[in-house]
Amino acid sequence: MTTVAPSTTDLAARLDRQVPAVEVRDLRKTFRRRDRKAGRFARKRPWPALADVTFTIARGECVAILGQNGSGKSTLVRLLSTLLIDDGGEARIFGHDAFKEAATIRRLVNRVSVEASFFKKMSAAENLSYAARFYGMTPRQTRTAIPEILGEVGFPPDRRGEAMENLSRGMQQKVALARALLTSPVLLLLDEPTTGLDPRSKLEVQDFIRKVRGEHDATILLCTHDMAEAESLADRIGLLDRGRLLFLEPVEDVKRRFSVATLEEAFFAATGREFEEENGDDEYREVFA
Amino acid sequence: MSSGVGSTEPPRSVGPGSAGVGAGRYAVEMRNQLVGLFGIVERNVYLTKRYFLWDLAFMVWTIANTLTIVFIARAEHLAPARENRLATTLLVGATIWAFLGIIFEFMTETVAWERWEGTIEYTFMAPLSRLVHLFGQGAFAVLYGLIRATILFFAVAAFIGIHAPQANYGAALALLALGSLSFIGVGIMTSVLPLISPEKGAQLGFVCQGVMLVVSGVYYPVSVMPEWMQWIAKISPATYVLRGDRNSIVNGAGIAWADVWPLVIIAVLATPIGLAIFRVGERYAKRHGKLKRSG
């Protein structure tokens, strides 16, 4: 394996293998938002995005968190990637406190989000160079590492210099995956990585996630609302509903627990609602999705 | 597959608390931060290349705008020597204004720009110290601003026919470099505004820039302003840069200590204060979920 971000792999090598990759205990996050229906001058009220969420992910495991829009999936990912400050509870990544040891966490974690977040006028190679420098990768290292990683995700070499704005959504998401992998994360947070992709791109991205899982000991937290994707990629599946984690267990255990044949039925059994059903609250909760 | 995910190397099983940070690790961290700083400058070079035609358009606009100011000297019908002196005075003011404008724009838009592009969260979750991040942005702004200011100065001087044989460009540049450190510090303070309030923050940044420049004597001596404005001028680094540079270019003077020490004090104070303010703003943004891209 080529080590492309030496400082990160050095840190990863010093991690205690016995410590879980992720330990979350009673994690809470509440935002304050004004109720749109109550008018412009209405008082802001608290909207719990995460409520006492507790779970553990072992090193090398792939866990999928299912949830509707606004269920708190992205809030969880943002908390674990040091982009939000919690309102209570605890989150540890490889034993390091996610909030007090943010600098260490940032070397261990990377993320792919639903939005392709790039400088649109810059090319894929330029965007990747920019991201790689933050992790200590010099131009000499990226000169070989970027073509290599883009090749791994199936990005056409002749389009490396093309502005991101000219690339399809699927291509952009491949570059997003390459960006996350370039920095050698030991914890990969995938937040709806295939949402909005065409079926072929979706399959390619899923195949790549499988490949990453199969060949490396990376730990993956996949947040998605695609039940089939969760079922096919993850060792265990959790259901986050309105900020509460209802369960986190292997898919067969979920089906057995609720005596159902599908995850959709399990969701209905656990919440009393259809999975795709949206309500007024969710509209507001999308802000924190 | 040769991606760098995870690590296959056997762990030495040290706990999180026993990192044992030695001198070697500090050196590695320092190296990583320097590479990160280079990354910020490099990204801005890429963007400048991509937006080259816009840069060209703004350059032409700035030259045209400066000409409209410097031609005022001609309209006064003064003796040639006095006209040349007035034109040079105005040109120095316009050039420094343009230079400062670029630094403030870059610093204020550090957050606003990345939020608009959608990269803000990736930059904020990267292991790059905020000082290095902001200083990298400031360093590019100074380099870019210097190139543009130099082109502006000599293009307008050539067009109008300004003669400044006695100008001490070395002293002017040295003072500008010293002033740049202060401007970066003040710029860091304003760059936090879009973090607290995405749109209003950017607007407030422009207001701060305008207020700072109007009190600093861009085209006139500070003494012509009301006394309360003169008090504000004392804490603006632009006041000392404008006064010193004008003196160096118009009168050929060297660097005056009276211009240096206020700039040193402002530079020493502004950067840590700016950074502290930015940290408070960043915590606020992370507590209230304001980092997320909007729009």
pLDDT tens string B203-227: 787 788 788 878 998 999 999 999 9
Q: What is the distance between the alpha carbons of residues A61 and A23, in angstroms, rounded to a whole number?
A: 13
- pLDDT-derived band at B163 (thresholds 50, 70, 90) equals confident
| pLDDT at residue B295 greater than cutoff 80 | no
Token pair 């791994």 is found at A152
pLDDT at B57 over 90: yes
pLDDT in tens, A10-24: 666 667 767 899 999
Asked if the C-beta of B199 comes within 8 angstroms of chain A's C-beta atoms, the answer is no
> Do A65 and A36 form a contact (C-beta atoms < 8 A)?
no
What pLDDT shows up at residue B260? Answer: 95
Sheet holding A44-57, edge to edge: A44-57, A22-34, A88-93, A96-97
Say yes or no: A284 contacts chain B, CB-CB below 8 A. no
Tell me the two tokens of residue B112.
């606003």
Which one of A92, A117, A220 makes the best mutation probe of the B interface by having the most chain B beta carbons within 10 Å?
A117
B30's CB contacts (< 8 A; 6+ apart) are: none
Whole-number Å distance between alpha carbons of A16 and B187: 42
Tens-place pLDDT, residues A75-94: 999 999 999 999 999 999 99
Tally the residues of chain B: 295
A273-283 pLDDT per residue, tens? 877 654 444 44
pLDDT band at B3 (very low <50, low <70, confident <90, very high): very low
DSSP secondary structure of B32-70: HHHHHHHHHHHHHHHHHHHTHHHHHHHHHHHHHHHHHHH
Residues 10-49, chain B: which have Cβ within 8 Å of A?
10-16, 19, 28-29, 31-32, 35-36, 38-40, 42-43, 46-47
Lowest-pLDDT range of A190-199, A278-287, B90-99, B188-197 = A278-287
| Per-residue pLDDT, A138 | 95
Distance CA B216, CA B97 (A): 10
ipTM of the complex: 0.87
User: DSSP state, A43?
Assistant: P
**Which of B205, B260, B210 has the alpha carbon at shortest distance from B237?**
B260
Say how far apart CA B230 and CA B238 lie, in whole Å: 13
Query: What's the mean pLDDT in A215-220?
Result: 82
Lowest mean pLDDT among A161-165, B9-13, B54-58, B204-208: B9-13
Whether B9 contacts chain A with CB within 8 A: yes
A9, two tokens: 């792999």
CA distance B16 to chain A (A): 6
Chain B residues with CB inside 8 Å of A83's CB? Answer: 121, 124-125, 286, 291
Helix (H) or strand (E) holding A22: strand A22-34
Tokens found for residue B19:
């990192």
Domains of chain A: 20-117+185-288 (3.40.50.300)
Q: Is A42 helix (H, G, I), strand (E, B) or coil?
A: coil
CA distance A142 to chain B (A): 12
Query: Which positions 219-238 of B are in contact with A (Cβ < 8 Å)?
Result: none
State CA B71 to chain mean position distance: 28
Q: What residue spans define the domains of chain B?
A: 26-288
Per-residue confidence band for A285, with pLDDT thresholds at 50, 70 and 90? very low
pLDDT value for B86:
94
Closest by Cβ to B50, choosing from A118, A121, A134: A121
- A143 versus B186: the higher-pLDDT residue is A143
Question: d(Cα B270, Cα A221) in Å, to the nearest integer?
Answer: 42
State whether residue B92 sits within 8 Å of chain A by CB: no
φ/ψ of residue A261, rounded to 5? -100, -25
What pTM does this model have?
A: 0.84
3-class DSSP state for residue A236?
strand
The C-alpha atoms of residue B70 and residue B157 are separated, in whole angstroms, by 9
Q: pLDDT-based confidence at B23, cuts 50/70/90? A: confident
A32 interface with B at CB cutoff 8 Å: yes
Segment A190-209, tens digit of pLDDT: 999 888 888 888 888 888 88
Chain segment B229-273, per-residue pLDDT in tens? 999 999 999 999 999 999 999 999 999 999 999 999 999 999 899
Q: For B9, left (φ over 0), alpha (ψ -120 to 50), or beta? A: beta
